[in-house]
Structure 1
Amino acid sequence: TMAKRGHDLILGDPLPGLVGEVEALGVDVLAMDGMADLADGTAIARLIDAGMERFGKLDAACIRTGEIIGGRFMDATLEQLQRLQAVNQEAVFHSLQALLKVMVPAGQGQIVIVTSATGRRPLGAALYASTRAGANMMVKAAALEVASKGVCVNAVGTAFLDYPGFINATGSEDPEVRKKVEAKVPMKRFGQPAEVAHFTASLLDGGNRFQTGQFFSLSGGWSD
């Protein structure tokens, strides 16, 4: 979506074929592998450094982090909590700090952190929802600090998306299970990744610089 709007891109761990697809749209693309675990604070720093060397500036960033561990709270382990804190909260911490160190001195920038709608309304995965809620609040707190510096920071929380992570976590590869899960959504269907991309792009393309410190739920009406 951003490439279609003429933006050059920095991609971490792009899917096969994606680089060629966006280059065909006439934009410059920098792709780096080894970015999967942003809980390692050096990963996002390497990506930003490479991008600055290539393009000389960073106008916007969309960071998607996270891992799902389901189950009941009473059955959870400390190890599970620590893992989710690392990938769902520490990764956001490292990403925001690294991005803001570049954008604040530049006096401009837009950041979207993709979290989860379960950070607003739990869906049964207690530890996952808790760590996502923490990430959402971290985004709001950071946004408040840099609001006067020309940098906008928002969170987009998804749920009920038709992509492998959610499908596998809910068992929705089974058509009967999928029907039951979709029934929980007011719109009675799963959302498409392209719908998330279009909404997120509106917070990143430079046209909306008066929206910051917000959490937006993209969940078909399931969560406010």
Structure 2
Amino acid sequence: MKKFVLITGASGGIGQAVAINLAQKGYSLYLHYNKNDQSIRGLLDKLRPLGGEYIPIQANLADSGGYKSIAPHIFSLDAIIHCSGNSQYGLLVDLQQEDAVALMNVHVVNPLMLTKELLPKFLRKGSGNIIVITSIWGQTGASCEVAYSAAKGAQIAFVKALSKEVALNGIRVNAIAPGAVATPMMESFTPEEVEQISFEIPMGRLGLPEEIAGSVAFLLSDDSSYITGQVLGINGGWYT
């Protein structure tokens, strides 16, 4: 029997790695994206030979009602991977309200409301798995990323609260908090800045998207059947 997973932000660096990893393990996938048509087409080309069902869904999660463009397309469902995200650099005094609202919509409002809409599917089955890709900055905060840190911290609180609410229904809810990962989100940094960040990380390098994807697969598996409400830090020892 096919298992279906919804991945939001599937066109991003981590989202693509998660999609490929899960498809290789036999999952069928709903693949959400917003503007990056080229990326999602390339991902679909990589996935098709693996033999599952791969369904692209376009939605703008920066809009407060973006989740409404996803939920009606989801039928059979075994897991949700909330992977959508965008960074926000700069001093708090320079933050514009519209940018703050869009950031919170992507990271907090739409994941919460999308989960609310899809949760009955899990409740009827008596099983389900929800994983949120948050950030090291949701755990410890970052200067010049105050709004982003606040959004990621809210994701962690969401995971901890929802996990308690649905545990007796057979639904597990966990978070993964990556550190610096070699994805297009890091392209705004100069090579010198990336080198400095790598120097600060005990393991001496950035993480790889595939390393995050492997942890997603673990949290979806029966090997993690007694794990819920947890935040798995994958950061090379940068924050412990």
TM-score interval w.r.t. the shorter chain? 0.7 to 0.9
Gaps of 5+ in 1: none
Give CA deviations for 1:80-119 in whole Å, capped at 9, x if unaligned.
4333222221122113212322212221011111111100
2:186 paired with 1:166: yes
Structure 1 residue 199, shift from structure 2 partner? 0.8
Please give the residue correspondences for 1:161-200 in structure 2 after superposition, counting only pairs within 5 Å: 161-168=181-188, 171=189, 174-200=190-216
| Worse overlay, 118-127 or 64-73 | 64-73
Please give the residue correspondences for 1:1-224 in structure 2 after superposition, counting only pairs within 5 Å: 1-13=21-33, 15-32=40-57, 34-37=58-61, 39-41=63-65, 43-52=66-75, 57-124=76-143, 125-168=145-188, 171=189, 174-224=190-240
Q: Indicate if the aligned counterparts of 2:123 and 2:169 stay in contact, CA closer than 8 A.
A: yes
Q: Indicate if the aligned counterparts of 1:38 and 1:44 stay in contact, CA closer than 8 A.
A: no
* Rounded Cα–Cα distance in structure 1 between residues aligned with 2:73 and 2:99: 33
Q: Indicate if the aligned counterparts of 2:30 and 2:74 stay in contact, CA closer than 8 A.
A: yes
Q: Indicate if the aligned counterparts of 2:62 and 2:103 stay in contact, CA closer than 8 A.
A: no
* Rounded Cα–Cα distance in structure 2 between residues aligned with 1:77 and 1:45: 26
Closer, same or farther: CA 36–219 of 1 in aligned 2, 3 Å = farther
Structure 1 residue 24, shift from structure 2 partner? 0.4
* Rounded Cα–Cα distance in structure 1 between residues aligned with 2:30 and 2:92: 38
SS across alignment from 2:200? coil
Closer, same or farther: CA 17–109 of 1 in aligned 2, 3 Å = same
Q: Indicate if the aligned counterparts of 2:176 and 2:234 stay in contact, CA closer than 8 A.
A: yes
Closer, same or farther: CA 30–83 of 1 in aligned 2, 3 Å = closer
Q: Indicate if the aligned counterparts of 1:2 and 1:205 stay in contact, CA closer than 8 A.
A: no
Gaps of 5+ in 2: 1-20, 34-38
Paired amino acid for 1:25 = L
Q: Indicate if the aligned counterparts of 2:136 and 2:239 stay in contact, CA closer than 8 A.
A: yes
Percent identical pairs in the alignment equals 26
Closer, same or farther: CA 145–15 of 1 in aligned 2, 3 Å = same
Closer, same or farther: CA 79–28 of 1 in aligned 2, 3 Å = closer
TM-score (norm 1): 0.86
TM-score (norm 2): 0.81
Q: Indicate if the aligned counterparts of 2:67 and 2:111 stay in contact, CA closer than 8 A.
A: no
Q: Indicate if the aligned counterparts of 1:117 and 1:217 stay in contact, CA closer than 8 A.
A: yes
Structure 1 residue 70, shift from structure 2 partner? 1.6
